[in-house]
């Protein structure tokens, strides 16, 4: 438990800072552009992470939203209830996960449709010999063809959105104080460590995507969708009254307590 608490303390000091929430979006954009430039001008030699079948890609990135959803669900529920004691407010805050699920589904559907309507089926990876009889990517692959269209980077989108969402939700830790002997302390500490590790995996794999996969325009659009999804929710919609709301902070808690006294 001592090692877990030490790890949690380091992650708190790293990810909970306001500066991280302020500069992480810019850092992701800069790393995407730098990685893409490196890929075009001086490609790195192939490595384990450049293989799409690496463990992190297969068991984490391919189901990135599921990991993010499953860890944020208990984290938001425990921390928000601990601070407010109100089940209704906790349910309201948990609706951020439903919003995130809708964003994930809509954006990935858009990407898939764009690739479909801009794509063609070829006889080889060198894009030789168009097979006009194949009208869909699935049909093309079933017949041994190679589909090529404008493939917006789903990794760039989802890893951007998930990393920024986790960092936003972890800002609540500024207010969370628990008794070390209480089981709630162990649960929150474990979740903080898990979410911190997950965030570092998302950022690492975002960098790998920038360096090894897709072209610049595909990654730009993917990252832009991720940034707009984060900004549209946590910076534009959630601060408003009719929304899932932002993670509770001391100022908002004090205002609510004053209103109850009145």
pLDDT value at residue 92: 96
What are the structure tokens assigned to 29, written together?
């954009």
Does residue 141 form part of some domain? Answer: no
**Number of residues written out for the chain:** 262
* 172, 192 contact by CB (below 8 A): no
Does residue 196 form part of some domain? Answer: yes
* 66, 231 contact by CB (below 8 A): no
Does residue 61 form part of some domain? Answer: yes
Integer Cα distance of 82 and 78 in angstroms: 6
Closest to 205 in 3D by CA, of 219, 187, 221: 219
> In this structure, what are the phi and psi dihedrals at residue 146, rounded to the nearest 5 degrees?
-125, 115
Q: What is the pLDDT of residues 102-141, one digit of tens each?
A: 999 999 999 999 998 888 888 777 777 776 666 778 888 7
Distance of CA 45 to the CA centre of its chain: 27
155 is catalytic: yes
Does residue 34 form part of some domain? Answer: no
Does residue 10 form part of some domain? Answer: no
What are the structure tokens assigned to 10, written together?
């380091």
Q: What is the pLDDT of residues 151-188, one digit of tens each?
A: 999 999 999 999 999 999 999 998 888 777 678 888 99
Q: What is the pLDDT of residues 246-262, one digit of tens each?
A: 998 765 555 444 443 43
214 is catalytic: yes
Does residue 123 form part of some domain? Answer: no
Catalytic residue among 155, 174, 182, 185: 155
The total number of structural domains in the chain stands at 1
DSSP state, residue 172: G
Sorted by sequence, the CB contacts under 8 Å of residue 231 that are 6+ apart come out as 25
Does residue 37 form part of some domain? Answer: no
pLDDT grade, residue 12 (50/70/90)? confident
* 153, 211 contact by CB (below 8 A): no
> In this structure, what are the phi and psi dihedrals at residue 122, rounded to the nearest 5 degrees?
-115, 160
Q: How many CA atoms lie within 13 A of 19 on its CB side?
A: 3
CA torsion through residues 140, 141, 146, 149, sign = positive
Q: Please report, rounded to a whole number, the percentage of residues in the chain having pLDDT higher than 90.
A: 65
Integer Cα distance of 189 and 20 in angstroms: 20
Does residue 18 form part of some domain? Answer: no
pLDDT value at residue 133: 61
Query: Based on C-alpha coordinates, what's the Rg of the chain?
Result: 21
Catalytic residue among 3, 116, 174, 214: 214
Integer Cα distance of 249 and 243 in angstroms: 16
Stretch among 35-39, 40-44, 142-146, 192-196 having the lowest mean pLDDT: 142-146
Model-wide pTM > 0.75:
yes
227: containing domain:
53-118+152-248
């Amino acid at each position: 438990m001592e090692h877990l608490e030490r790890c949690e303390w380091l992650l708190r000091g790293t990810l909970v800072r306001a500066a991280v929430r302020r500069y992480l979006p810019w850092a992701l954009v800069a790393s995407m552009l730098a990685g893409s430039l490196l890929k075009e001008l001086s490609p790195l030699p192939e490595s384990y992470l450049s293989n799409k079948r690496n463990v992190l890609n297969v068991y984490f990135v391919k189901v990135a939203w599921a990991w993010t959803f499953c860890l944020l669900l208990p984290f938001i529920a425990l921390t928000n209830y601990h601070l407010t004691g109100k089940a209704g407010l906790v349910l309201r805050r948990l609706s951020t996960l439903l919003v995130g699920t809708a964003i994930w589904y809509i954006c990935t559907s858009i990407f898939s449709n764009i690739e479909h309507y801009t794509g063609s089926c070829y006889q080889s990876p060198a894009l030789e010999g168009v097979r006009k009889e194949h009208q869909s990517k699935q049909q093309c692959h079933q017949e041994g063809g190679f589909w090529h269209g404008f493939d917006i980077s789903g990794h760039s989108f989802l890893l951007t959105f998930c990393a920024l969402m986790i960092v936003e939700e972890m800002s609540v830790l500024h207010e969370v104080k628990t008794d070390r002997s209480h089981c709630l302390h162990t649960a929150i500490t474990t979740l903080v460590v898990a979410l911190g590790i997950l965030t570092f995996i998302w950022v690492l794999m975002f960098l790998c995507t920038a360096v090894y996969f897709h072209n610049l325009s595909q990654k730009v659009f993917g990252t832009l969708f991720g940034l707009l999804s984060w900004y549209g929710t946590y910076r534009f919609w959630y601060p408003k009254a009719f929304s899932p709301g932002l993670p509770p902070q001391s100022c908002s808690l004090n205002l609510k307590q004053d209103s109850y006294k009145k």
